[in-house]
Amino acid sequence: MPLDTSDFGSSHAALALGSDFASLRRANVILNPNGNLGAALREAREHLGLAVMDIASVTRVRAAHLGAIEAFDLDRLPARPFTVGYVRAYASALGLDGDAVAARFRDEAPRLDGALRAPCGIHRAPRRLGWLGVAGLLIVSAVLAWNLFRHAQTNAPRQGAAVQSLVAVRIDAGPAHLGAPLPPPPEAASPPAYETPGLAPIATAAPTADADIAGAPFVAAGAIFGAAGPRSGPDSGILLQAKKPTTLIVRGPGGAVYFARELATGEAWRAPPTAGLTVDVGNPGSMEVFDRGIARGMLSEAQTPLARLAG
């Protein structure tokens, strides 16, 4: 089928004519320059005494398309490249210059931008067929879901009976003896939870004495916070001194905060004569305990009742 492409030459449009058409080629056929190209082609065909079917049998172009060309009815013609090829073949069958006639058609026929139409009357399926397909898929899916549901209901009593029989066998066999629980595999062991310094509650314990520092006197190396007054000397009550920077939070009964501070190295806190206080230290290994001015060692736990630190 001829197409309107850049490499489509007169050799593609040249058609093998029968003996009747060979004599007609010697006739001088001139297209009427007036009117449209379709009317001029019809006049030339009728001048040669040819019918539309004669041209169709030679060009292999549908008679309906040839009639549409003569009527210049572009809506009945296929896409523009195919139509240009049909015009060129029509002109060549009449003994005319196919390229010149095709050029005239391009000038007279407007170019419409749009999707290419099929050259041979391809019909699209109605849109309702698409909806019918969707409805069919929904029906099939519903049937499959219903069958699966019924199958699950049918198998449920059988599984229940199997479980009951297994339980009965175990009961008849006597009491079960369980061994010692196995330790969890290494990859299943949970890592220790992260503890925010000075905030996470930790089990209390008494301070651990350090042989190198136990018994040493208190030496002030920074500011001393906490209780003041007649019993504010270094030898009065419990005193905590930071050997390294750490947080110190003192809570009373019910969780009320009495003191909270980030202690620098050398800073200390003197405990007041208040019962029920608990010290919460971010790094217990950085806090040294003094009782009446004498070192008792470093804290071993982050949270410790103050009463347990007194000697």
pLDDT digits (tens, 9 = 90+) for 123-158: 454 566 778 888 999 999 999 999 999 888 776 656
- Residue 309 is predicted with a pLDDT of 81
**pLDDT score at 304:** 87
Q: What is the DSSP letter of 138?
A: H
Q: pTM for the full model?
A: 0.33
Using DSSP's 3-state secondary structure scheme, residue 178 falls into coil
Q: Which of 20, 176, 188, 9 is nearest to 89 (CA)?
A: 9
Between the alpha carbon of residue 77 and those of residues 65, 70, 82, 253, the distances in Å are 6, 11, 9, 97
Residue 226: per-residue pLDDT: 83
| Alpha carbon distance 139, 40 (integer Å) | 59
What pLDDT is attached to residue 193? Answer: 61
246: left (phi over 0), alpha (psi -120 to 50) or beta: beta
**How many C-beta atoms lie closer than 10 Å to residue 188's C-beta?**
7
What whole-number distance in Å separates Cα of residue 195 and Cα of residue 200? 6
DSSP 22-51: HHHHTS-----SSS-HHHHHHHHHHHTT--
- Residue 60: the pLDDT is 93
Name residue 29's amino acid.
V
Highest average pLDDT, of 81-85, 202-206, 216-220, 252-256, comes from: 81-85
Instruction: Write down the pLDDT at residue 308.
Output: 83
Task: For residues 54 and 238, give the distance between their C-alpha atoms in angstroms, rounded to a whole number.
Answer: 124
CB atoms within 10 A of CB 244: 12
The pLDDT > 70 percentage for the chain reads: 64
Question: Which pLDDT band holds residue 2 (cuts at 50, 70, 90)?
Answer: very low
Query: What is the sign, positive or negative, of the torsion defined by CA atoms of 235, 227, 309, 268?
Result: negative
Are 258 and 252 contacting, i.e. CB atoms less than 8 angstroms apart? yes
The pLDDT of 265-281, averaged and rounded, is: 89
Least confident range from 92-106, 221-235, 288-302: namely 221-235
28-47, pLDDT tens digit by residue?
778 888 888 889 899 999 99
pLDDT at position 132: 87
Is beta strand 303-305 parallel, antiparallel or unpaired with respect to 278-281? antiparallel
